[in-house]
Structure 1
């Protein structure tokens, strides 16, 4: 039957070094046996040392991408990546609502691993008001959660409060990823999950002291998207994404000089 194969959409920017953004999403979709489609929103010029330039694609081109993909493919889940400013976020929210694109995974890409700011303050306001209410799941890292909630998160109780605050803006499920600071004393990383039904749980992984971390958040959110596209429930999608992202992070490949990519070959194929 036509369009029977599971298909997922990434609405994201292109990372020229291939380690994050659209490229990491497509690597992840491929490994999880989901066909990946792209609405390209922006592009960054960079390498393992940093991001040196960027640009947004024209709005009419982005609208054409949405229109033509929706007219042909049976997209079963979608995710967002880098959406740099308020007009772009508003446009993506509007276009997503026009079409049947399945559940939405929102990865709020605000700061790069190099420390480059990838979303301005008006963009953060627009994200809260327009995109979070559409999210099936929101997957901020520790610093992104602080920026979104305007909280100085110090302990587990504040992580729980931050997740609750994020869900109050409309996202059905929250996965708030713990601090991954480069600290030789750190032994574990703990992520907090708050589900739509009110249940919650912690996921604990051994801390991996490495700079080969580019694409970690993209990969996690992309695998969640792939699993939802295959019809998996949200809890299992989160667990599958966590396991495979940790595998890709734990067995690094030597590409680039500083913040290199995680190893997508270690993602299980099933």
Structure 2
């Protein structure tokens, strides 16, 4: 007789720690919990950070990162992986090696390169390693416009140029790209979702006036991973994640946390922890 095993849908976040709590590992775990999944983590770097900006970055040794990842994968069934801050070549290679070893069902990579405050979070030489080691093996990358410009070497000033940049990234080996257009300020915000051998989709939402947008990219990618862990297909995971983000921004727009760009309200509508067998 087969015994049915109940467990939580589980997301592993591989990212940097934000001591201010608004982005990185902290934002990811809040998001995963709010959407009814179980969060595990592996920290790639420590940051001395608050709502005003990043004061210092301390990289976690690559061998210790690998130990964190092995510890999770060897014991816990991981349904989806979110990757955030990868700031050194050694860390990029370790993450790629571990993903190839365990082959999780879904991986989303938010290629964090510049913080909300404008601080550069990645070494120049690491970008090429992302192209060769990580982008070909993840299921979705979620760059914003600034990051897409770094990755493609082109200026992006319109939705049409966003689509062209997505096609360029697909041509270079990405499986799927969600290019976030939040930096093109206007009454309507546009994101572009491009997948291999599928029609490019333009998604739109109303602009919400708020200074509290620290960690928006981290939260979006973590919510996509959470919805995939809960069983949604990619397009619906992206659509539901965008709805969650809009709600979190709206709920947190009039709250003061620190003196700078504050966090979203990740827990504005929490979901009970789900159970799957």
TM-score range, shorter chain: over 0.9
Contact 1:10 1:37 in 2 (8 A): yes
Partner in structure 2 of residue 29 of structure 1:
32
| Alpha-carbon distance in structure 2 between the residues aligned to 1:46 and 1:66 | 24
Partner in structure 2 of residue 60 of structure 1:
63
| Alpha-carbon distance in structure 2 between the residues aligned to 1:174 and 1:233 | 15
Contact 2:159 2:190 in 1 (8 A): no
Contact 2:107 2:138 in 1 (8 A): yes
| Structure 2 counterparts to residues 248-259 of structure 1, below 5 A | 248-252=248-252, 253-259=255-261
Kindly report the root-mean-square deviation, in angstroms, between the aligned alpha carbons of the 2 structures: 1.5
Where structure 2 has 5 or more consecutive residues not aligned to the other structure, the ranges are 273-277
| Structure 2 counterparts to residues 95-174 of structure 1, below 5 A | 95-174=98-177
Contact 1:245 1:267 in 2 (8 A): no
Moved over 3 A (4+): none
SS at match of 1:105: strand
| Alpha-carbon distance in structure 1 between the residues aligned to 2:249 and 2:127 | 28
The count of residues paired between Structure 1 and Structure 2 equals 267
Partner in structure 1 of residue 83 of structure 2:
80
Which digits, 9 at most, give the CA deviation of each residue in 1:44-65, with x for residues without a partner?
0011111001111112211111
| Alpha-carbon distance in structure 2 between the residues aligned to 1:21 and 1:174 | 20
Pairwise CA distance, 1:170: 2.4
Partner in structure 1 of residue 231 of structure 2:
231
Which digits, 9 at most, give the CA deviation of each residue in 1:115-166, with x for residues without a partner?
0000121111111111110121111111111111111112222111100111
Contact 2:89 2:125 in 1 (8 A): yes
Tell me: higher relative CO, structure 1 or 2? Use CA pairs within 8 A at least 6 residues apart: 2
SS at match of 1:266: coil
Q: Does 1:188 align with 2:188?
A: yes
| Alpha-carbon distance in structure 1 between the residues aligned to 2:204 and 2:21 | 28
